[in-house]
Chains A and B, each alone.
Chain A
Amino acid sequence: MAGNQINRLSGKGLVDHGKTVSFQFDGEAFSGHPGDTLASALLANGVRLVGRSFKYHRPRGILTAGSEEPNALVELRTGARREPNTRATTIELYDGLDATSQNRWPSLKLDVLSVNQLATPIFGAGFYYKTFMWPAAFWEKLYEPMIRRAAGLGYPSKLSDPDHYEKSNAFCDVLVIGSGAAGLSAALAAAKAGARVILCEEDFELGGRLLAESDEIDGKPAQEWARAAAAELESLPDCRIMRRTTVFGAYDGGVYGAVERVSDHLPVPPEHAPRQRLWRIVAKQSVVCAGGIERPILFGNNDRPGVMLAGAVRTYVNRFGVAPGRTAVVFADNHDALRTATDLAAAGVAVRAIVDPRPQASAAAEQVAGEAGALYIRGGIENVRGALGIKSVRVKDAQGGTKEFDCDLLATSGGWNPALNLTTHLGGKPAWDSALSCLVPGEDLPPGMQVAGAAAGQFSLQACLASGEAAGAEAAKHCGFSPSALRRPAPAQDRAPATPVWYVENSRGKAFVDFQNDVAVSDVKLAAREGFRVPDHVKRYTTLGMATDQGKTSNLNGAAILAEATGRYLGAVGSTTFRPPYTPVALGALAGHHRGKDFRPTRLAPSHRWAEEQGAVFVEVGAWMRALMYPKPGEAAQETVNREVSNTRTNVGVCDVSTLGKIDVQGPDAGELLNRVYINAFAKLPVGKARYGLMLREDGFAMDDGTTARLAEDHFYMTTTTANALKVSQHLEFCQQVLWPELDVQTVSATEQWAQYAVAGPKARKVIEALLDAGQDISNDAFPYMACGKFTVCGGTPARIFRLSFSGELAYEIGVPARYGDALIRAIIKAGAEHGIAPYGTEALGVMRIEKGHAAGPELNGQTTAHDLGLGKMASTKKDFIGRFMGEREALNEAGRAAMVGLKPLNPKTRIASGSHLVKRDAQATGANDEGYVTSMAYSPELETFIALAMLSNGPARMGEVVKVCDPLRGNETLAEVCSAHFVDPEGGRLRV
Chain B
Amino acid sequence: MRINCPYCGARGLEEFTYRGDATVKRPESIEESARDAWVDYVYLRDNPAGLHKELWHHGAGCHSWLEVTRNTVTHEITAVELAAKGR
Contacts and interface: CB of A to CB of B under 8 A. Distances in A.
A742 B86 CA distance: 9
A886 interface: yes
Given A699-B43, A726-B59, A733-B63, 11 more contacts: A252-B2, A252-B76, A426-B74, A698-B41, A734-B19, A734-B65, A736-B84, A737-B82, A737-B84, A742-B87, A880-B30
Given A255-B1, A733-B63, A698 B30 contact: no
B49 interface: no
B17 A730 contact: yes
A169 B12 CA distance: 10
Nearest to B82: A737
Contacts of A447: 76
A885 B38 contact: yes
Interface in A866-896: 880, 884-886
Interface of B: 1-2, 10, 12, 17, 19, 26-27, 30, 34, 38, 41-43, 55, 57, 59, 63-65, 74-77, 82-87
Contacts of A737: 64-65, 82-84
14 contacts: A252-B1, A253-B10, A253-B77, A255-B12, A698-B26, A730-B17, A733-B63, A736-B84, A737-B83, A738-B65, A741-B85, A880-B30, A886-B38, A886-B42
Contact of A730 (B10, B43, B59, B83): B59
Contact of A699 (B27, B42, B85, B86): B42
A880 B38 CA distance: 13
Given A253-B1, A699-B42, A738-B65, A885 B30 contact: yes
A739 B10 CA distance: 25
Contacts of B10: 253, 282
A280 interface: yes
Given A280-B12, A733-B63, A738-B55, A885 B76 contact: no
Nearest to B87: A741
Contacts of B84: 736-738, 741
A251 B14 CA distance: 14
B61 to A, nearest CB: 12
Nearest to A748: B63
Contacts of A426: 74
Nearest to B34: A885
B12 to A, nearest CB: 7
Given A730-B57, A738-B65, A253 B86 contact: no
A698 B74 contact: no
A251 B34 CA distance: 44
A733 B65 contact: yes
Interface in A229-258: 251-255
Given A741-B84, A885-B34, A252 B65 contact: no
A286 to B, nearest CB: 15
A251 B1 contact: yes
A738 B65 CA distance: 7
Contacts of A886: 38, 42
Interface in A184-205: none
A603 to B, nearest CB: 15
B57 to A, nearest CB: 6
Nearest to A253: B2
Nearest to B27: A885
Nearest to A730: B57
Contacts of A733: 57, 63, 65
B69 to A, nearest CB: 14
B75 A253 contact: yes
A718 to B, nearest CB: 16
B1 A741 contact: no
Interface string A262-306: 000000000000000000101000000000000000000000000
A661 to B, nearest CB: 14
Contacts of A698: 26, 41-42
Contacts of B57: 730, 733-734
B65 A884 contact: no
The 9 A-B pairs with the shortest beta carbon distances in the complex, nearest first, are A253-B2, A737-B84, A741-B84, A252-B1, A252-B75, A737-B65, A738-B83, A741-B87, A885-B30
* Most chain B Cβ neighbours within 10 Å, of A699, A736, A737: A737
Nearest to B25: A739
A167 to B, nearest CB: 11
Nearest to A697: B42
Nearest to B85: A741
A735 to B, nearest CB: 10
Contacts of B12: 169, 255, 280
Nearest to A169: B12
Nearest to A737: B84
A734 B19 CA distance: 10
B17 to A, nearest CB: 7
A698 B74 CA distance: 31
Nearest to A743: B87
Contacts of B2: 252-255, 282
A520 to B, nearest CB: 39
Contact of A884 (B17, B30, B63): B30
A726 B26 CA distance: 23
A885 B83 CA distance: 24
